[in-house]
Amino acid sequence: MHLTNRILVTGGAGFIGSFLCERLVSEGHDVICADNFYTGNKNNIEGLLDEPNFELMRHDITFPLYLEVDEIYNLACPASPIHYQRDPVQTTKTCVHGAINVLGLAKRVKARILQASTSEVYGSPFEHPQTESYWGNVNPIGPRSCYDEGKRCAETLFFDYYRQHNLRIRVARIFNTYGPRMHPNDGRVVSNFIVQALLGEPITIFGDGSQTRSFCYVDDLVEGLMRLMNVADDYPGPVNIGNPGEFSILELAEQVIDITGTKSSLVRKPLPQDDPLQRRPDISEAKRALDWEPVTPLAEGLVKTIAYFEDMLKDNAVREKLVQNRRSA
């Protein structure tokens, strides 16, 4: 028999959260999406609004919330540097106060709770690829710290609730994820390169482009999060969820240029402060504990993501608004 649960997804109107809500709703669970629409929007979940087992709540998780649920996926937090750096104090509050509030809720209702942590907890790593046992190299006072240290503190809180209150926690360290519904102006490298290529704008390479990232397609990521939530009891993690294929930023630009056939040129911009030079997950633990590994190669995921943005840009009004916003940014 397939059991259905009442599941809270914070940040459910965002990029990853909306795909997760879709999967959970399609499996028959009762899903509550709590979002303050800071970076998410209703379009991402419009296909769910009429579903009887889906409910949308406008809520900021820096304030407590009172619900009765069996599981919580805590995804609420802006994820792209330009978004989380716009109001860094709010970012730290979302990570830390938000974690306290959802953990308090989980404790009261005895729910299982998963934290969307990040590869940023490894900072600019001295260990490569990164295993879960690596403690990281993070600047505590730089422009990325609100996010990196906020997420590290959230992990601390999760593990203290686990030890002190026997809460059933799950900590996923998510590596760079991409796919349809990324915000077209969020400055993340995949969406930025694709939008630049489709608009015929120069493709912006920060630094010399030799820094590396590992890109996981969103469907694979969601599968990994769900397996982690549903793995046998008492498995707190942390566990890396990402695609171990490692690409330099220049290689990524070349793939986007090849697939789109754009005439865009490459321009160099300074490397942002504290930008990690390399990043690749060691996913041995996810394979062992969750029997999970990503199945979507970068080229295949890029084709789907490019198709999404092409479709979005067919609408002239959307295209013009996007171009205007990019000029005024």
Out of 22, 60, 149, 220, the residue judged to bind ligand NAD by CB under 6 A: 60
Active site residues: 147
Residue 226 site contact among ligand NAD, ligand UDP, none (CB < 5 to 8 Å, cut-off depends on kind): none
Size of the site for ligand UDP (CB under 6 A): 16
- Angle between helix 316-328 and 298-314 (nearest 10): 100
Q: Which stretch binds ligand UDP (CB under 6 A): 11-19, 83-91, 269-277, 306-314?
A: 269-277
Give dist(CA 177, CA 208) in Å, integer.
22
Residue 5: exposed, middle, or buried by beta-carbon count in 10 A (0-12, 13-18, 19+)? middle
CA torsion 92-94-100-106 (nearest 10°) is -150
Residue nearer to ligand NAD on the CB measure, 78 or 209: 78
User: In 3D, which of 118, 130, 124 has the Cα closest to residue 154?
Assistant: 118
Residue nearer to ligand NAD on the CB measure, 49 or 267: 49
CA torsion 34-37-43-48 (nearest 10°) is 0
Tell me the pairing of strands 246-248 and 212-214.
antiparallel
Out of 7, 8, 13, 257, the residue judged to bind ligand NAD by CB under 6 A: 13
Residue nearer to ligand UDP on the CB measure, 90 or 192: 192
191 makes contact with ligand NAD (CB under 6 A): no
251 makes contact with ligand UDP (CB under 6 A): no
The helix (H) or strand (E) run that includes residue 8 is strand 6-10
The helix (H) or strand (E) run that includes residue 206 is strand 203-206
Residue nearer to ligand UDP on the CB measure, 91 or 176: 176
Tell me the pairing of strands 177-178 and 54-58.
unpaired
CB of 237 to ligand NAD, least distance (A): 14
Amino acid of residue 158: F
Spatial contact of 237 and 172, defined as CB atoms under 8 Å apart: yes
Query: What φ, ψ does residue 178 adopt, rounded to 5°?
Result: -145, 165
Out of 37, 64, 166, 265, the residue judged to bind ligand NAD by CB under 6 A: 37
First to last CA, the chain: 52
Out of 7, 21, 79, 286, the residue judged to bind ligand NAD by CB under 6 A: 79
13 makes contact with ligand UDP (CB under 6 A): no
Spatial contact of 183 and 329, defined as CB atoms under 8 Å apart: no
Amino acid of residue 262: T
Give dist(CA 16, CA 27) in Å, integer.
17
Q: Which of residues 117-156 bind ligand NAD (CB under 6 A)?
A: 118
Residue nearer to ligand NAD on the CB measure, 225 or 264: 225
Beta bridge partners of 237: none
Q: Which of residues 87-106 bind ligand NAD (CB under 6 A)?
A: 94, 98
Provide the mask over 271-310, with x wherever binding to ligand UDP is found by CB under 6 A and - wherever it is not.
xx--x-----------------------------------
Spatial contact of 217 and 181, defined as CB atoms under 8 Å apart: no
Q: Which stretch binds ligand NAD (CB under 6 A): 37-45, 202-210, 248-256, 259-267?
A: 37-45
Residue nearer to ligand UDP on the CB measure, 24 or 257: 257
Interface residues toward ligand NAD, by CB under 6 A: 10-11, 13-17, 35-40, 60-62, 75-79, 94, 98, 116, 118, 174, 176-177
Interface residues toward ligand UDP, by CB under 6 A: 80-81, 176, 187-189, 192, 204-206, 211, 213, 249, 271-272, 275
